[in-house]
Amino acid sequence: MASRIRLSKVFSCFNEGPAGVLSEIEISQSPGIPTFDVIGLCDSSIRESRGRIISALNSSGFIMPKGHITVSISPSYMRKSGTSFDLPIAIGILLVSGQINCPPGVKIYAEGELKLTGETRGTPGSAVRLRSIDKDMFDHIIVPEEERESAVFTGSDAAVIGSLKDITDVIAGRSFSPLTATSEAERNDEELIKGNAPDLSVLKGQEKTKRALILAASGFHNILLLGSPGCGKTLAAGMISSIMPPLSPEEQRDVYALSDLTGSASRERPYRTIGPGTALSKITGSSSTLIPGEAVLADHGILFADEICEMKNEVLDGLRLPMGEHEIRHIKDGKVFRFPARFLFVGSGNPCRCGNRFEKDKVCRCTPSVISRYLSKLSGAFLDRIDIFSEMRSLDTEDLKSTLGRRTGDESRRAQETVRRAWDMQKNRYSGDSGNRFNGIREVSSDEDIFDIIRASEEVREYAVETAGRYELSARGMTRMILLGRTIADTEGRQDMKVSDIAEAGAYRSRDLIRR
């Protein structure tokens, strides 16, 4: 055969669950009747790229080369989808047809969708992809303008282009829009954290709830608030993130990458709400598309379950695993995908059907059997994972009056200092473990001695065991109580635990909630 087959290679990446898989795009051109084949278990979103690519090439002043064109996207045994292959395929075609030139051995990474006009467009999941690639491997990293923020976040030294036309400049190394680290990413932390949350002092007269919120924030402990309708449960839940220090850059990257998978990227501490209408698959995410659910999107943030007593049993049971393990696993094609779910769980609901069970002036008309039926959704196994339980009451008109017009951020600010102190303590203690930075999220495996980790004296140990016996706690219940006690000590910056830490932690266990 006299005909010469020409080849070119461009790198790109596609999402598989929480990770990105590097892929090599090979393009071959050989003389013959014009064809365009894309191979490598691609779905129709990739095969359709042909139309976009041809039009974009023409609109940008290039031409679509004649002959057989075969595009092979590796690894070929993995199913892939998404339109982010448009740009690398187009670049490969330009290279193979000699419309742009670059020295052999130069490695190009590109991703992005193309419009028919030749302009580029970003696609969801860019942060995950850019994060997973080894940036030093490539000579050029080319991303669309819309993925600028992802590129900055992941520290990629990328060329950001607005249109396919710019590609010649990039390859020639002439000029392209350089990334500056001082773009939007460096938005003021203060601004991010302030938000519109009211000050903690609006929860006047609800000392237990206030303290509970601070402890929950300090150690990422699962918390349950039960109280009458309108007593401020949602308000209280919303205040938790306002008493937390801002996200660290590393956490911001995590949050950004995960939220970007759904197409709406965010850098703020997540606050995801689920309710009785939310299906379980929306909470855990789907194992076929591997798009993260609410529990994963709440990573590093707050997962607020409103009206928890009205939720379906399967949803509550489904929440149990992520609440304990802080991870969601999906199995697809025999592979296990692990999504982080290090959220702070906040549940809220009515304490009985009429809602007045904990009220001061109103009378609860629910009989014990009605109450136990109403709360039967909250199984023992579920409550076992609740470290902090606090009942709430409506504020008196007196209380309300005195809170009006007093919105100084003082109490929240002081609470934030406490939380920060606790975080620092935990960071130092758990510096060896990756990810398990908080007492409430720590998974204690059976071969570890919980008391060794948390530095408790003999006296504290005995007291904890005695308390657990008295309150009839399970082994998990006891462990979680001790970890909450550890958090209490951390908020005071104490290395060693005291008996009173355990005693206070015990007061938050929800043992009297249901009497069967």
- Residues in contact with other proteins by CB under 8 A are 205-211, 351, 357-358, 360, 364, 391, 393, 466-467, 470-471, 488, 499-501, 503-507, 511-512
Identity of the residue numbered 48: E
| Shorter beta-carbon distance to other proteins: residue 153 or 358 | 358
What is the spatial distance between Cα 5 and Cα 401, in angstroms, rounded to a whole number?
A: 82
| Shorter beta-carbon distance to other proteins: residue 307 or 399 | 399
Identity of the residue numbered 25: I
Q: Least CB distance from residue 243 to other proteins, whole Å?
A: 16
What are the beta bridge partners of residue 222? none
| Shorter beta-carbon distance to other proteins: residue 447 or 512 | 512
| Shorter beta-carbon distance to other proteins: residue 210 or 385 | 210
Identity of the residue numbered 259: S
Question: Residue 27 has which token pair?
Answer: 């393009």
What is the spatial distance between Cα 155 and Cα 180, in angstroms, rounded to a whole number?
A: 10
Q: Least CB distance from residue 512 to other proteins, whole Å?
A: 4
H helix intervals, 404-493: 410-429, 450-454, 458-470, 475-491
Q: Least CB distance from residue 511 to other proteins, whole Å?
A: 8
What is the spatial distance between Cα 387 and Cα 26, in angstroms, rounded to a whole number?
A: 54
| Shorter beta-carbon distance to other proteins: residue 174 or 360 | 360
Q: Determine contact, residues 453/466, Cβ cutoff 8 Å.
A: no
| Shorter beta-carbon distance to other proteins: residue 198 or 351 | 351
Rg (CA), the chain: 28
| Range list of β-strands (E), 270-368 | 271-274, 302-305, 327-332, 335-340, 344-349
What is the spatial distance between Cα 322 and Cα 340, in angstroms, rounded to a whole number?
A: 9
| Shorter beta-carbon distance to other proteins: residue 337 or 471 | 471
Q: Least CB distance from residue 150 to other proteins, whole Å?
A: 43
Q: Determine contact, residues 9/92, Cβ cutoff 8 Å.
A: yes
Q: Least CB distance from residue 316 to other proteins, whole Å?
A: 22
| SS3 readout for 372-420 | HHHHHHCCHHHHHCCCEEEEECCCCHHHHHHHCCCCCCHHHHHHHHHHH
| Shorter beta-carbon distance to other proteins: residue 60 or 394 | 394
User: HSE on the CB side for 429, CA within 13 Å?
Assistant: 25
**Cα-flanking dihedrals φ and ψ of residue 453, to 5°?**
-65, -40
| Shorter beta-carbon distance to other proteins: residue 7 or 514 | 514
Q: Determine contact, residues 68/27, Cβ cutoff 8 Å.
A: no
Q: Least CB distance from residue 362 to other proteins, whole Å?
A: 13
